[in-house]
């Protein structure tokens, strides 16, 4: 099958979503402070309370969406699909049940579908933000969705 994949480029200036479950918010805020000099050079987005706390406690400029349980995770996922967000840092709480767990799983899935880097822990976020790719363009391949839709429509 020709053109099964298309190339996407993540630019030098990343569009980073910053998300954290309630018990992880202090850890993410501290991580943002530690990495302020890097993060200030990128476009930042976040879910409700997390975005507000990051802005208030670090001075970073961040566009806020709804809180996770009110659809914020889905809004971030939609921005990935639209090509707006291309990097996700999500400090999730693996030990506490979350009422919006299906939304979190959907966000993780869409990040995988679009081959978007996603950290779910501080260690992973540290490795990602200090990667050689952080300050340069990164070209990656994703499924050619238009071709996929065309072929599905033709087969029905």
Residue at token pair 């930042």: 44
User: Which of the 8 DSSP states describes residue 118?
Assistant: E
Virtual torsion, Cα 95, 98, 104, 105, nearest 10 deg: 70
Residue 12 has what DSSP assignment?
Answer: S
CA diameter of the chain: 54
Q: Please provide residue 10's backbone torsions phi and psi, each rounded to the nearest 5 degrees.
A: -90, 120
Which residue among the candidates 15, 37, 56, 73 is catalytic per the annotation? Answer: 73
Residue 135 is among the residues annotated as catalytic for this protein? no
Instruction: Indicate left, alpha or beta for 115 from its phi (over 0: left) and psi (-120 to 50: alpha).
Output: left
Residues serving a catalytic function are: 73
């Amino acid at each position: 099958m020709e053109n099964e994949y298309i190339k996407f480029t993540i630019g030098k200036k990343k569009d980073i979503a910053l998300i954290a479950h309630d018990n992880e918010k202090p850890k993410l805020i501290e991580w943002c402070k530690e990495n302020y000099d890097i993060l200030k050079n990128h476009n930042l987005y976040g879910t409700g309370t997390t975005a507000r706390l990051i802005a208030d406690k670090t001075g970073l400029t961040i566009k806020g969406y709804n809180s996770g349980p009110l659809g914020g995770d889905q809004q971030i996922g939609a921005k990935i699909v639209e090509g707006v967000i291309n990097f996700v840092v999500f400090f999730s709480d693996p030990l506490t049940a979350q009422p919006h767990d299906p939304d979190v799983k959907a966000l993780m899935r869409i990040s995988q579908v679009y081959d978007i880097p996603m950290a779910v822990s501080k260690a992973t976020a540290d490795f990602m933000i200090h990667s050689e790719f952080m300050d340069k363009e990164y070209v990656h391949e994703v499924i050619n969705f238009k071709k996929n839709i065309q072929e599905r429509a033709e087969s029905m």
